[in-house]
Each structure stands twice: as structure tokens, then as C-alpha cells.
């Protein structure tokens, strides 16, 4: 009986040491080369919030909105309204990292400038649109 208890204690101690060392080695390595802000922006983004003058328009006027940014500084922004109409704007975009701004230049020559913040898979754009102040929040799709 004493041998079984000592083997059990030895086994428990061994399992504890193994599990403790494996837990401490699970530290996430930091990416030494996270890429440029423009590279991190590339891809599809689904708008989660679209506030106009502080009023949430998602679900009220806008049913869905998506943005796509590619590696050639091209963008596509589609908006679907709750009345099942929609529009898509395409053109070029430019990131001004030092001023935290993104500039959209549509194919028809219109230019929009937004303050730009990216936190991982969330972007926030704020500025003026159609004479109203807007705040857009999007999540990477």
C-alpha cells in the first residue's frame, strides 16, 4: 500500500511539473515584422456601426455596408439600405500615417478624408460625410 501511495505521489508530482512547464511555455510570441499599416488594412471589412451625428444608422437606414482594400491602393465601399437599394463607390485610397488619416478618391473625382484608427481587426473612421459628422466602425471579415 505504501508503494502505491509513493508511486501515486511521484506520478502526481511529475504531472504537475509537466503541466506547469507546458503552461509557462504557451506565451504568445510577438511578431517581429507586423507589416505596414497599409498591408494590415488590406482585405474585407464589415461595418458594425455607422453613426451620423451620434445617431446609429445601422438597422435604421443602412442594413449592411462593406469595404474592401487591396494592395494596389484601390477600394470598394458598398452600402445596402433598408429599402433594398444600394450603392457602391470605388476608387483609390491613400493612408497618411503621420496624421492618422485615410483619403478616399472615388472614380468620379469626389474626395473624402477621415481620421483613421486601426486596432487589430477593428478600424474606426471619423469625419464629415454629406454635411454630417460620421463615425464608422468596421471589423475584418
Position 113 pLDDT exceeds 90 = yes
* Contact of 134 with 116, CB cutoff 8 Å: no
User: How much is the pTM?
Assistant: 0.74
Render pLDDT for 69-104 as a digit per residue (tens, 0 to 9).
999 999 999 999 999 999 999 999 999 999 999 999
117 grid coordinates: 484608427
> What would the pLDDT profile of 40-73 be if each residue is shown by its tens digit?
999 999 999 999 999 999 999 999 999 999 999 9
Residue 32's H or E segment, with its range, is: none
What the chain holds in terms of domains, given with CATH numbers, is 37-140 (2.40.128.20)
Count Cα atoms within 13 angstroms, Cβ side, for 14. 6
The C-alpha cell of 9 is what? Answer: 505521489
- Cα distance between residue 47 and residue 129, in whole Å: 16
- Mean pLDDT over each residue of the chain, to the nearest integer: 83
- Give how far the C-alpha of residue 28 lies from the chain's centroid of Cα atoms, to the nearest Å: 20
The reported pLDDT for the residue numbered 65 is 98
Average pLDDT over residues 112-132: 95
The predicted pLDDT at position 15 comes to 44
Higher pLDDT, 138 or 39: 138
Amino acid at each position: 500500500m505504501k508503494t502505491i501511495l509513493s508511486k501515486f505521489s511521484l506520478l502526481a508530482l511529475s504531472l504537475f511539473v509537466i503541466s506547469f512547464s507546458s503552461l509557462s511555455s504557451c506565451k504568445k510570441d510577438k511578431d517581429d515584422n507586423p507589416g505596414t499599416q497599409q498591408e494590415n488594412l488590406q482585405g474585407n471589412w464589415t461595418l458594425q456601426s455607422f453613426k451620423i451625428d451620434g445617431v446609429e444608422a445601422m438597422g435604421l437606414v443602412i442594413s449592411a455596408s462593406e469595404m474592401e482594400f487591396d494592395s494596389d491602393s484601390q477600394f470598394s465601399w458598398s452600402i445596402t439600405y433598408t429599402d433594398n437599394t444600394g450603392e457602391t463607390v470605388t476608387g483609390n485610397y491613400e493612408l497618411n500615417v503621420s496624421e492618422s488619416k485615410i483619403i478616399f478618391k472615388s472614380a468620379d473625382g469626389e474626395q473624402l478624408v477621415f481620421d483613421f484608427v486601426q486596432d487589430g481587426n477593428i478600424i474606426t473612421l471619423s469625419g464629415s460625410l454629406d454635411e454630417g459628422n460620421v463615425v464608422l466602425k468596421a471589423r475584418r471579415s
